[in-house]
Chain A
């Protein structure tokens, strides 16, 4: 399992590495700043969807150790979301606090994006074993159900920022519906397994 973890750790860094390489070799087009901001956001979303895929995969494969990969994937959600946020704060707003506050209030998709990012913070802080212990499994689990809200909010954020062609955000929303539907189905089938499914 630890080997798989190392591989996953490295593979998850590929998008970031590629973006840096593409930036330095001018492969991001005429507006590279817009491109890296968009790409880091998209990768945060993709990793979030992957973390939500872990549990259904466990049910399907019966391979329960998959759960141990979820924390790393979750931290990569934060890694890409943090890059996305920093790029916005730096290259879009140049850390002008006044402008940032105005922007968060004025533009609904920024408002949602901002609060979605803040919602990630308690999850990151409580992601280590010590915190799981301190909170106790039940409370920890409750807190981490925030993930569902974050997933919905980030797909809304994506949907709203796209000008006209909503195909891509709708695609991710459809995947999310499937991920949620699997959970509902499972809950309906065997209400007891859900409660015991979290570490």
Chain B
């Protein structure tokens, strides 16, 4: 009955429960709202909001998907850090409703140390790839986390097509810079445009995803439409949104947050309960919708797939 509590198996989240049952769930929730709020405990129940009808159909389900309880669609689409649309969590959902401007083509440039650079329209960019659903834990550096059913494809698939050369040690990503569409950029809170980077082996890791949707829907503006990165073992800010440029480079790129606070934000920014941020203890996290905090896991619980990338690194220095 309770969709959010369901373990998800082989099928995409939107196919497990049909639309009618979703609706019934809401009726159930409305009925139990008084109880839920009075006890204050099942915040997720009180917050659950039905996801709209899926637009991506027949998505392949991934063996990399987590079986954690999904965070409600409502929370995933209303509690966002996207400084391009304001520095509080609520602004992006309010200010990004018309983002990106559908009348303008979304162009993504792939360039740098690769044999097949190019500039693509969004549709051409994603056409060659098979979209799948991936349910990932998402841990923000601020100490909260979500579980999100992303729609996307492995970044590795795109990189293989671009054929990086031997000098391509890192990949740098850049968000759109357009203060007319992104009002937050008119204030210099960060050194716009937002940039992020991965080491090439991190970028090639099968967990690293380019996402174009969530909950079976196209990404909304506040979630980084139309295409964003998802790196589930790193803090959320590494998962750069609304990408317009992917560049293969030889030197380690400086991300926007590294420039803003080099002692607070490192290049790697792997989820690590043992390395505290000066503002936030990283040993625990609040899963959105849950009352009690839970222990944060090394690499956000993805150590099996990624720990081998860092065997030579002192992670307390390379935070």
Contacts and interface: CB of A to CB of B under 8 A. Distances in A.
A33 to B, nearest CB: 7
Contacts of B276: 106-107
A163 B279 contact: yes
B278 interface: yes
A91 B40 CA distance: 12
Contacts of B55: none
Contacts of A165: 83, 87, 187, 189
A58 B232 CA distance: 57
Interface residues of B, number: 33
Contact of B281 (A26, A31, A103): A103
A30 interface: yes
A109 B278 CA distance: 9
Nearest to B260: A164
A29 B78 contact: yes
The prevalent SS among residues of B at the interface is: loop
B90 A29 contact: yes
Interface string B14-48: 00000000000000000000000110100100110
A34 to B, nearest CB: 7
Nearest to A106: B276
A25 B33 CA distance: 9
Contacts of B124: none
B288 A24 contact: no
Contact of B37 (A24, A91, A103, A161): A24
A32 B43 contact: yes
Contacts of A103: 281
Nearest to B237: A163
Given A30-B47, A30-B78, A31-B144, A160 B279 contact: yes
Contacts of A59: none
A107 B281 contact: yes
Interface string B272-306: 00001011110000101101110000000000000
Nearest to B44: A30
Contacts of A15: none
B79 A26 contact: no
A164 B190 contact: yes
Interface string B70-107: 00101100110001000101100000000000000000
Interface size class of A (residues with CB under 8 A): 20 to 34
B142 interface: yes
A34 B144 contact: yes
A163 B142 contact: yes
A100 to B, nearest CB: 11
The prevalent SS among residues of A at the interface is: helix
A198 B190 CA distance: 46
Contacts of A25: 37
A136 B261 CA distance: 49
Interface string B237-278: 000000000000000000000001100000000000000101
A145 to B, nearest CB: 30
Contact of B292 (A30, A31, A94, A108): A94
Interface string A21-42: 0011110011111100000000
Interface in B182-196: 187, 189-190
Contacts of A160: 279
Interface in A9-27: 23-26
Contacts of A26: 37, 46-47
A91 B187 CA distance: 34
Nearest to A91: B291
Interface in A153-199: 160-161, 163-165
A107 B46 contact: no
B79 A106 contact: no
A167 to B, nearest CB: 8
Given A26-B37, A30-B47, A30-B78, A164 B288 contact: no
Contacts of A108: 278
Residue of A91, A102, A161, A165 with most chain B CB atoms under a 10 A cut-off: A165
Given A26-B47, A29-B89, A30-B289, A161 B279 contact: yes
5 contacts: A24-B38, A34-B286, A94-B292, A164-B190, A165-B87
The 3 closest A-B pairs by CB, nearest first: A30-B79, A30-B75, A165-B87
Given A26-B46, A34-B286, A107-B281, 15 more contacts: A23-B40, A26-B47, A29-B78, A29-B79, A29-B89, A30-B75, A30-B78, A30-B79, A30-B289, A33-B291, A103-B281, A107-B279, A160-B279, A163-B87, A163-B279
